[in-house]
Amino acid sequence: MNPSEQTYRQSIQELEEIVKAIQSGNIDVDELTGKVTRAAELIRTCKGKLTGAESAVARVLAEIEPESKKDNS
């Protein structure tokens, strides 16, 4: 599945599975290369989703901040 089509949770779960597989030491070099490449894709996707969420939260807080100042006046 394309990482951008996955939810953040799905991406993290897949990333955790990759880490476990790498840590087990039971994968060959060719498989390792593919898993590291996939992990990098998932990390980029998660980082993008976190950045987007942070921006969305900041926008919402900025929108309600003026309202809360009006309420306190």
Provide the domain limits for residue 9: 3-72
For residue 16, the surrounding DSSP H or E stretch is helix 8-24
> What is the number of structural domains in the chain?
1
**CB neighbour burial string for 25-34, b if at least 16 within 10 angstroms, e if fewer:** eeeeeeeeee
Q: What is the pLDDT of residues 41-72, one digit of tens each?
A: 999 999 999 999 999 999 999 999 876 666 66
Is the pLDDT assigned to residue 20 strictly greater than 80? yes
> What is the reported pLDDT for 72?
62
- Average pLDDT of the chain, as a whole number: 90
Is the pLDDT assigned to residue 22 strictly greater than 70? yes
Q: What is the Cα–Cα distance from 16 to 39, expressed in whole angstroms?
A: 9
Residues whose CB is less than 8 angstroms from the CB of residue 18 and which lie 6 or more positions away in sequence, other chains included? 35, 38, 39, 42
25: phi then psi, degrees, rounded to nearest 5: 75, 10
Confidence of residue 38 (pLDDT cuts 50, 70, 90): very high
> What is the reported pLDDT for 5?
86
